[in-house]
A and B are shown apart, each in its own frame.
Chain A
Amino acid sequence: MNFDFSEEQKLLQKTARDYLSENAPLGLCRKILEGDEPYSRELWQAAGEMGWLGAAIPEKYGGAGFGHLELALLAEEVGRALAPIPFSSSVYLATEALLVAGTDEQRERYLPGLASGELIGTFAIAERRGRPTAASVQTTFKDRELVGVKLPVPDGDVAGIAIVNARDDSGISLVVAELDARGVERESLASIDPSRSLARLSFQGARAELLGAPGKGQELADSILDRAAVLMAFEQVGAATRAFELTKDFMMERYAFGRPIASFQALKHRLADLYVKIELARSNSYYGAWALSSESAELPVAACGARASASDAFELASQEMIQLHGGVGYTWEYDCHLFYRRAKLLGLALGNASEWRDKLIERLDHPSAV
C-alpha cells in the first residue's frame, strides 16, 4: 500500500506553493474582489506558463502531461491561495470534458489554448434556482443551434468556450459553444464572492457542436462532474487548511482574561474538531484522487465522498474563522470574509454537499457497492 503522493509530486506542489505565496498573497484575491478586473490576468498567464493549466493534458495537445495526481496537488495550492483565477471552470470542467468526450479534432482545436491559458473554458449546466436534473433542462439544440439561458455560469463572462447540456432529438446531449460567436449574449452577475465571477449566458441560435455521443449528455455530465468534484475537493481542502492555520495563529496571539484564547478548552476542542474534519476530508479526497488517476470504477462513489466532506470542511472552517476572530473577523479589512465567501461559492459550484450525499446513496444502493 502506498497511499501518498510521490516525492516528485510533492516537489511540484512545493514549487507551486512557493510561487503563490510570493505572487498571490491574499491581497491579490482582495484586489480582484474590490476592483473591476474579473480575474488576475497576470496569475492566469503565469499558471499557463508553468504548466498548471495543462497539468492533465497530454503533451501532444500542448499540455504538461503530468496527470491527475499532480493536478490535484496544484488544485490544493490554488485553494490555499484563494487564487482569483478561473481555474476550476477551465481546468476541472472544460478541459476534463474535452478529455472525456472530445473527438481528436476537438481536442486539437481547444486543448492547446486551454493549456496555455489563452482560452478559458467553462461548464454551463444550471438554468435557474434549485437542483438541476435531466428533466429540468430547457435549453435546446436543434440544427446545430443552441437556444436557451444558462445561469449562473462560473466565469461565463470571461470564457471563450462553454460546455453546455441541452435537449435535442435524442434526449440530453452535451455541446461545445464558442462564446464570442453570434447569437451569444453574456451578462456579468453579482457574485457572493466577487473574486470569482458569475455570468448569465443567453443563447439565441448560437452555433454549437456536439461533444460526445448524442443523447449521452446526462451520463457525460455526471462523469465530468465526478472528475471535477475530486479536483474541487482538493481546492476546498487547501483553502480550509489555510483558514484553519490563520485562525490558529491568531488564537495563539490574541489574549483575553490574561491568557491566549487558544488556551481555552472550549476553543481548543473546536479547533481539534475542525482539524479532524479537515483531515477526514483530505483522506476522502486522496481516495478520490487515486480513483480519478487510476480510472477506477470506484470514482463515482469516491467523488461523492471527497466532494461532500470537503465542502462541509471548508464551510465550517470559514465560519469558525470569523467566529474565533471575534469582532475583527467581521470587518471588511480582515481576510476572514474572503474565505467565507469562497467557501460558499465553491460549495455551490458543482452542486451542494447534500446533493452529493444523495448521489452517494444512489450509487451505493446496489448490493455489491458497499
Chain B
Amino acid sequence: MDFNDTPQEAEFRAAARGWLDSNAERLGPDESPTGMAEGQDREDVIKSSQAWQARKADAGWACITWPKEYGGRGASSIQNVIWNQEEGRSQTPPNVFGIGQGMLGPTIMAHGSEAQKSRYLNPMLRGEEIWCQLFSETAAGSDLAGLQTRAVREGDEWVLNGQKIWTTGAQYCRWGMIVTRSDPAAQKHAGITYFIVDMESSGIEIRPIKQINGGKSFNEVFFNDVRVPHANVVGKVNDGWRGAITTLMNERASIGGGGGSNGFRELMRLARETDWNGRPALQDPYVRQRLADFYIRSKGLQYTGYRTLTALSKGATPGPEASIGKLVGAPLSQELAGFACDLQGQAGSLMEDDSSWQSSYLGAPGIRIAGGTDEILRNIVAERVLGLPPEVRLDKGIAFQDIPSARN
C-alpha cells in the first residue's frame, strides 16, 4: 500500500507538469482556479475555454484517454487522474466541454458509425464544437425512458417534434445528442432512437430557464418539424436505449469521479476567524463535531476514490460503485455550505458579491438532482451494487402508448 507514483506514472506526471508549467501559471498550494462557478454561458468564458482547449489539443493533452486517431493519446485512467490533478494545480479556464467530451464522445465511440466518429470527435476534442445532451423532458427525467419527443422517418430523413428541458448549454452548443420515441407501439425501452442533431437546424427554439441561483445555464428546447438526416442515427433505429445507457454510465463516472476540494479548508478558516459567543467558532464543541463529520465524510469519499482508482489501474472496469461519489458528495457540499452560512450568524443571510458560501448553498440543490437524483442513485446502489430486488413496476410488458401517466 502506497501513494507513490510508479516510475512510469512519475515520468508521465513530470511530462504533464513540464508542459503545463510552460503554458499556464502554476497555482500556490492554497489557491484554487479562479473564474469557475457560474458564467459558463458567458461568451468570454467560452472563448478562453476554447483557446485553452485548442492549445492542449495541439500538444496532445486534450481528452488524453481517447484513442490517438481522434486526437487523444490513448492514456490510461490513472494517467487521466494524474493529468487532472496537475491541470487542477494550474490557473486554467473552466472546461465547458464536459458533457460532450465526458459523455457524448464516448457514446459515439461505442455506438456511432465510422463516418460519425471521423466527422465529430476531433472538433469535439478541440473544443471547436460544443455539445449538449437532450435527454430530459417535462414528463421524463428520472424515468428517462418515458420520453415522448417523436421521431418519424421520411425517406432519408427523420422529422422530430416535441420538447426537451433542462438542457445545459443548449444556447451556445453547436451539436446535441437527442433520444426520441420512434415507435410508440413498441414497449417502453424498445421504441427509442438516438440522434445527433444540428442545433442550428430550423425548427429548433431555445429558451433559457432561470435557476434558483439566478443563473441560466439550462434551457427548454422545442422541436417543430426539425429534419435530421438518417446518417445521424447513433446505433440502430429503435435501439437507442442501449446508447442512452452508455451516456448515463459515463455521466455518473465523470460526475462521481470528482472528489477534490469541497471547501473544507475554507470552512476551517471561517470557523477560526468567526466570533461565536465571544470566542472563535472553532472552539465551540458543536461546531467542532460538525466540522469533523464533514472532514471525515469528504476524506472517506476521497479514499474511496483511491480504492476505485487502484482497482482501475489493475484492469477493473468502472462499475455502479461510482454512484457513491455523487450520492455522498452532493448532499455533503450542500450541508457544508449551509453550515458555513449558519456560522456567520444573522449576517449569513446577506447575499453580497463575494458571498461564495451563499452562492454554493444556492447552487447545491441542482447537483443533487442533475445526472441522477440522490434517490435514483440509492436505487442504483441498492439494486446494482447490493443486488436487492428491483422496484415494482407498472410499465413493463405493455406498449409505451398504453402506459398510465398524468396525460391519460
Residues of A within 8 A of B (CB): 1-6, 69, 248, 251-252, 259-260, 262-263, 265, 268-269, 271-273, 275-276, 279-281, 283-284, 286-287, 289-290, 293-294, 304-305, 308-309, 354, 356-358, 360-361, 364-365, 370
Residue B5 CB within 8 A of the other chain: yes
**B292 CB contacts on chain A under 8 angstroms:** 304, 308, 356-358, 360-361
Q: Identify which of residues 288-315 in chain B touch chain A, using a CB-to-CB cut-off of 8 Å.
A: 288-289, 291-293, 295-297, 299-304, 306-307, 309-311, 313-314
**A3 CB contacts on chain B under 8 angstroms:** 1, 3, 303, 306-307, 309-310
Contact A263 B300 (CB under 8 A): no
CB-nearest residue of chain A to B288 = A361
Minimum Cβ distance to chain A for residue B379 (Å): 7
* Alpha-carbon distance between A356 and B293 when the two chains are bound, in angstroms: 11
Contact B388 A262 (CB under 8 A): yes
**B304 CB contacts on chain A under 8 angstroms:** 279-280, 283
Contact B307 A4 (CB under 8 A): yes
Contact A1 B5 (CB under 8 A): yes
Partner of A358, one of B78, B285, B379: B285
Chain B, residues 364-397, CB within 8 Å of chain A (1/0): the string is 0000000000010011011101101111100000
Contact B2 A294 (CB under 8 A): yes
Minimum Cβ distance to chain A for residue B374 (Å): 9
* Alpha-carbon distance between A339 and B337 when the two chains are bound, in angstroms: 36
Give 6 pairs: A residue, B residue, CB < 8 Å, sorted on A: A1-B4, A279-B300, A305-B299, A309-B296, A309-B300, A364-B268
Residue B264 CB within 8 A of the other chain: yes
Contact B307 A286 (CB under 8 A): yes
* Alpha-carbon distance between A37 and B192 when the two chains are bound, in angstroms: 67
Residue B272 CB within 8 A of the other chain: yes
CB-nearest residue of chain A to B287 = A361
Chain B, residues 257-288, CB within 8 Å of chain A (1/0): the string is 00000001100100010000000001001001
* Alpha-carbon distance between A290 and B382 when the two chains are bound, in angstroms: 30
Contact B391 A265 (CB under 8 A): yes
Which bucket holds chain B's interface residue count? 35 or more
* Alpha-carbon distance between A273 and B381 when the two chains are bound, in angstroms: 9
Residue B328 CB within 8 A of the other chain: yes
Q: Apart from A272-B385, A273-B378, what are 6 other A-B pairs with CB-CB below 8 Å?
A: A1-B2, A3-B310, A263-B390, A269-B382, A305-B295, A309-B296
The main secondary structure of chain A at its interface with chain B is helix
Residue B121 CB within 8 A of the other chain: no
**A4 CB contacts on chain B under 8 angstroms:** 1, 307, 310-311, 314
Minimum Cβ distance to chain A for residue B29 (Å): 9
**A276 CB contacts on chain B under 8 angstroms:** 324, 327-328, 381
CB-nearest residue of chain B to A309 = B296
* Alpha-carbon distance between A294 and B1 when the two chains are bound, in angstroms: 9
**B291 CB contacts on chain A under 8 angstroms:** 361
Contact A308 B296 (CB under 8 A): yes
Contact A269 B268 (CB under 8 A): no
Contact B1 A293 (CB under 8 A): yes
* Alpha-carbon distance between A364 and B272 when the two chains are bound, in angstroms: 11
Partner of B381, one of A5, A275, A283: A275
Known contacts A2-B310, A275-B381; is A281 also within 8 Å of B289 by CB?
no
CB-nearest residue of chain A to B314 = A4
Known contacts A262-B388, A280-B328, A361-B282; is A1 also within 8 Å of B295 by CB?
no
Minimum Cβ distance to chain A for residue B234 (Å): 32
Contact A272 B378 (CB under 8 A): yes
CB-nearest residue of chain B to A313 = B300
Counting from the closest, the 10 A-B pairs by CB-CB distance are A280-B300, A357-B292, A283-B303, A268-B382, A263-B389, A3-B306, A272-B381, A283-B304, A361-B288, A272-B378
Chain B, residues 240-271, CB within 8 Å of chain A (1/0): the string is 00000000000000000000000011001000
CB-nearest residue of chain B to A290 = B1
**B324 CB contacts on chain A under 8 angstroms:** 276, 279
* Alpha-carbon distance between A3 and B311 when the two chains are bound, in angstroms: 9
**B297 CB contacts on chain A under 8 angstroms:** 280, 309
* Alpha-carbon distance between A253 and B384 when the two chains are bound, in angstroms: 18
Interface centre among B272, B289, B309 (most CB of A within 10 A): B289
Minimum Cβ distance to chain B for residue A12 (Å): 14
* Alpha-carbon distance between A365 and B272 when the two chains are bound, in angstroms: 9
**B285 CB contacts on chain A under 8 angstroms:** 358
Contact B296 A272 (CB under 8 A): no
Minimum Cβ distance to chain A for residue B303 (Å): 4
CB-nearest residue of chain B to A305 = B296
**A357 CB contacts on chain B under 8 angstroms:** 288-289, 292-293, 296
* Alpha-carbon distance between A6 and B2 when the two chains are bound, in angstroms: 11
Known contacts A3-B307, A283-B306; is A268 also within 8 Å of B1 by CB?
no
**B9 CB contacts on chain A under 8 angstroms:** 1
CB-nearest residue of chain B to A354 = B289
CB-nearest residue of chain B to A362 = B288
* Alpha-carbon distance between A289 and B292 when the two chains are bound, in angstroms: 20
Contact A272 B386 (CB under 8 A): yes
